[in-house]
Every structure is written in C-alpha cells, then in structure tokens.
Structure 1
Amino acid sequence: MKYGIAVFPEKKVQDIANSYRKRYDPHYSLIPPHITLKQAFEMDDDQLSRAIVHLDQVAQQTSPFEARFTKVSTFHPTNNVIFLSIADPAPFKSLHEKINQGCLQHEESYDFIPHLTIGQSLSDDELHDVYGSLRMSTFDLSTRVDCFHLLYQLENGSWTIYQSFLLNQDQVQE
C-alpha cells in the first residue's frame, strides 16, 4: 500500500491555498493543502506497526512550532509547481530527518524543501503567467504545527489519514 507523511495547516491557511488550488492544482480533490514530510512510499502490513512505533517516538522528541508563509515560489524548471514558501524551514527539515530514519529510511528523488503546493502540472506558459502575478503578492500566513499524519492512498487516488501523531507539548523548543 502507498503511504505518505504530511502536516495539514490550520483552516485559514488551507482556505487561502485552496483558493488557488481549485484553479491550478489537479490534485485539489485528492488531498487537502499540506506540507509533505515524506513523499509517497510503499509499505506492507508487516512494516506498518514498526513505522507507527517509529513515528510515535519522533513525535515525542519534537516540540510544536509555528510555520509562516510569506511568499510564492516555484520549482521551475525542475518541476512546474507553484507553492507558498516557508519562512523558516529548519523545524520541518529537522522533523523530516527524524522521520526518514530506521524503518522509514528511503532514497529520495529530490532534496527536501518544505512547501505548500498551490499549483502543479502547469504548462510553461501558464506557470509563468500565474507565478508572474502571484509573486507580486505578499502573504503573511502562519499556522501552528502540533501534529503530523501518516496517510494512505485509496484506490481512487485520494489520500486519507491512517493515524495522527501529536507532537510533545512538554518538550522544550529546540
């Protein structure tokens, strides 16, 4: 079965992201706006229980943190993706590194750059038009990150939560 690990921002951030995703993201109906912590990977039932123990340990070692989105960026020319960039990616990178160890360590196709996708699979012309207008916009959005989710993909391609992992509220901020 295909799994992934992500953070869902607060509703106010999701609403703004969805206002763009409706038009520019063909995956709009498959998953809510999210920050991917671990890209999609295959895992069988035997590995699942070990993964859950590992993710629970990661959550207990991690303090909640704030994420701010301040501008729009793109991965062009590597990928025709437009996203809200995260002002301080360090807490996401730390969480990603902790998750991508032990039983969940996999080779990754790209360097990990935490972001919130608002458009993808765009033609070059469309990407340049959309990005050209959005990069002039300023964003001042924030969300509290106090949990992450192990997701699995359904047969229709949509994603749903398998289990949520609450970050350690008592952990001192790193």
Structure 2
Amino acid sequence: MIYGIALFPDKEVQDAANSWRIRHDPHYCHIPAHMTLREAEEWDDVKLERAVKHLDAVSASFKPFEVTFNRVSTFFPVSNTLYYALEDPSQVDNLHRAICSGPGMQQPYNYVYTPHVTIGRKLQEEELHDLYGNLRMTEIRLSSYIDRIHLLYQTEQGGWTAYQSFQLKG
C-alpha cells in the first residue's frame, strides 16, 4: 500500500487554498489542502509498523506550534506549481528532518524540501505567470495551529485518507 505523511492546516487556510485548488490543482478531489512531510511510497507491513513507532516517538518530542503563510510562491522553472509559502518554515522543516531520519525512513530527494500548501499544479506556463503575477501582489496572512502529524494511505480510487494521527506532545 502507498503511504505518506502530512500536516493539515486549519480550516481557514484550507478554505483559502481550496478556493484556488478547485480550478488549478488536479489533486483537489483526492486530498485536502496539506503540507507534505514525507513523500508517498509503497510500504509493506514491517515498514508500516516501524513508521508508526517512529512517528509516535517524533510526536512525543515536538510541541504544537503555529505557522503563518505570508505569500504565494512558485517552483517554476522546475515545476509549474503555485503555493502558499511559510513566513518561517523552520519548525516544519525540523519536523520533516526528524521524521525522515528514523530507521528505514530516509528517503533520497532530488530537491530541497520546502514546506508549503499547493494552490495550483501542472499549470500551463502562461497561466502560471498570470496567476503568480497577480497573487504575489496580494497581501496574505494566514495562520494555522499545528498539533498533529497524519500518516495517510492512498485508496484504490486514488484518494488519500488517514491511517493514524499522532498528536504533538513534546
């Protein structure tokens, strides 16, 4: 089965992101607005059991925290993706590193991890530049309280659902 690890921001952030995602993100109907902590991959039962134990340990060592999204950014030219960017990504980045440092959890990335909430992906280049040009001039100040990590699995229909959530208790 395919598993991934994510954070879900507060409803206000999800609603703001979804107002763009509904038209500009083909994954809109498969998963709510989120911040990926670890990319999806196929796991067997042994790896899943190890991951659950590791996520228990990580969640016990991190306190809940607040994040603020303060701008729209893009991964262009690498990817025609628009996203809400964090004012200070350090707390999410630290959580990502802790999760990906566990036994069997290391995952080679060919990019720099950038915590974000996607608002558009697979955009045509002209549409990307038009939206980005307009949105980067818009004042954005969306805050979210992060108090749990979500281990997700992909259903046969392509949607994502929670397997288990881990409350931050540090």
Please report the TM-score for the alignment, with normalisation by the length of structure 1.
0.95
Equivalent-residue separation in structure 2 for 1:10 and 1:60 (angstroms): 21
Residue 78 of structure 2: SS of its match in structure 1?
A: coil
Equivalent-residue separation in structure 2 for 1:42 and 1:111 (angstroms): 22
Using the TM superposition, give the Cα deviation of residue 49 of structure 1 relative to its aligned residue in structure 2, in angstroms.
1.0
2:34 is the counterpart of 1:34: yes
Matching residue's letter, 1:49: E
Using the TM superposition, give the Cα deviation of residue 109 of structure 1 relative to its aligned residue in structure 2, in angstroms.
2.9
1:83-162 paired onto structure 2 within 5 Å: 83-101=83-101, 102-162=103-163
Matching residue's letter, 1:13: V
Residue 104 of structure 2: SS of its match in structure 1?
A: helix
Aligned to 2:64: 64
Matching residue's letter, 1:152: Y
Return structure 1 stretches of 4+ with deviation > 6 angstroms.
Answer: none
Matching residue's letter, 2:52: I
Equivalent-residue separation in structure 2 for 1:48 and 1:98 (angstroms): 17
Using the TM superposition, give the Cα deviation of residue 47 of structure 1 relative to its aligned residue in structure 2, in angstroms.
1.4
Equivalent-residue separation in structure 2 for 1:157 and 1:77 (angstroms): 27
Task: Give me the identity figure in percent.
Answer: 50
Using the TM superposition, give the Cα deviation of residue 67 of structure 1 relative to its aligned residue in structure 2, in angstroms.
0.5
For these two proteins, the number of residue pairs brought into alignment is: 169
Equivalent-residue separation in structure 1 for 2:61 and 2:41 (angstroms): 23
Give the superposed CA RMSD: 0.8
Please report the TM-score for the alignment, with normalisation by the length of structure 2.
0.97
Using the TM superposition, give the Cα deviation of residue 22 of structure 1 relative to its aligned residue in structure 2, in angstroms.
0.6
Matching residue's letter, 2:129: H
Residues 77-105 of structure 1 show CA distances to partners (whole Å, capped at 9, x for unaligned) of 00000000001100011000100022211
